Amino acid sequence: MQTKQQLEARALQIIAQAKTSGRGDEDSFVELKSSFPDDHIRTARQIAALCNAARGNEVIWLIGINEDNGEPVGVSDSDLQSWWPQVEKCFDEFSPDFVNLNVPVQDGRATVVALFFATDRAPYVVKTKNGSGVDREVPWRSGTRTRSAKRSELISILHPERRMPGMELLRAEGSITCQSRREVANPYHNSGGRYTKSTLPPSVSASFPVDVFVDATHPITFPTHRASALLSISFLSDPIPLRVAFGPPSSTTWLDVNDYAALVKNPTLLSAYLRGPVIPVDYSKSASEQDMQLYNFISQLTAENFLELEIELVAAKDLGFWKSSTKLQQQRDKNERFPDHCTIVWKSL
């Protein structure tokens, strides 16, 4: 959902392009009018045609622009209050929702009324003029011409083709934590009022939060069980698989996240957490050999400048998949060392 500042910026861009070109540059989703049209039935038909052909994209009407030369002429914003109810009556059952903005032009001396129509409830049906023999129509915009929708176009409205959205990996950073052998108290077993102790072997774990921008034009679901990630370290022969979890759990206008999936409804940022164990230690070896393996792993890892991280998200309903990889650079000034563990920090370039 765009802010009003973004909508105004889009309107000003169209106004500037129309003025520069010296003509009213209309396309499939933009209509320019010098004034509020008097023919309400024809106007409803034009709006419905645009919204039906838009397939979920936004439709823009700019009122107060000369259609012939693209020059702003301005209108009174108060006219909208009386004009729209007359147009709305010409729709069958319901009309498209819209946001209206008054856009000052010519240094504030004139106002262009911008109407941004939502198109997510297509098809839009209009009433036709009495005596025509047909009382309802589904209009369609083809170029700059308005006509009745064809059968194939009606099917495309009712069963829209869904594709993978544009996606971009914006951020990946995290750490690899190496934990030495240690004794921990076992609160569930005690002897004579004393807790017993357990010895935990050396361990290495990775944790990498990432942010992915999803330019969703329709709702799309990414199941957690179909997401995967790989961490490649040059001195290890095989990449390390990491678990993918979306989060934090939330439900907003743009995004629904739970333990099982992420539903992206509008363009937004999708956060994921990539975690998993890194096992360079052979637990069949003796304790001293395991400790030496951990020491050697830490020495090699701290000498590395870069790692490679790859993430793959698969959409539900066989819409496709998205895969991206990035280099991670070691952030040596942020590394931490303690007697029993160390944390090595990495960040995408």
Contacts for 158 with CB less than 8 Å, ≥ 6 apart: 123
Task: Parse the chain into domains and list their residue ranges.
Answer: 4-158, 166-348
Tokens 């490679």 sit on residue = 308
Q: Is the pLDDT of residue 98 over 60?
A: yes
Backbone angles phi, psi at 73, to 5 degrees: -115, -20
Residue 245 forms beta bridges with which residues? Answer: 273
The confidence band for 311, taking pLDDT boundaries of 50, 70 and 90, is very high
Residue 148 CB neighbours (<10 A):
13
| CATH fold for the domain made of 4-158 | 3.30.950
Q: pTM higher than 0.85, yes or no?
A: no
25 within 8 A of 66, measured Cβ to Cβ: no
The confidence band for 281, taking pLDDT boundaries of 50, 70 and 90, is confident
Q: Which amino acid is at 70?
A: G
Q: Is the pLDDT of residue 137 over 90?
A: yes
Q: What average pLDDT does this structure show over 303-318?
A: 92
By three-state DSSP, how is residue 193 classified? coil
Looking at per-residue confidence, does 281 or 322 come out higher? 322
**pLDDT tens digits along 210-230:** 999 999 888 899 999 999 999
Cα–Cα dist 260/38, whole Å: 53
What pLDDT was estimated at residue 131?
Answer: 63
Q: Is the pLDDT of residue 148 over 90?
A: yes
What pLDDT was estimated at residue 136?
Answer: 92
**pLDDT tens digits along 181-220:** 877 766 665 556 566 777 778 889 999 999 999 998 888 9
Asked, as a colleague might, if the bond just before 209 is cis with ω within 30 of 0, I would say no
273 within 8 A of 249, measured Cβ to Cβ: no
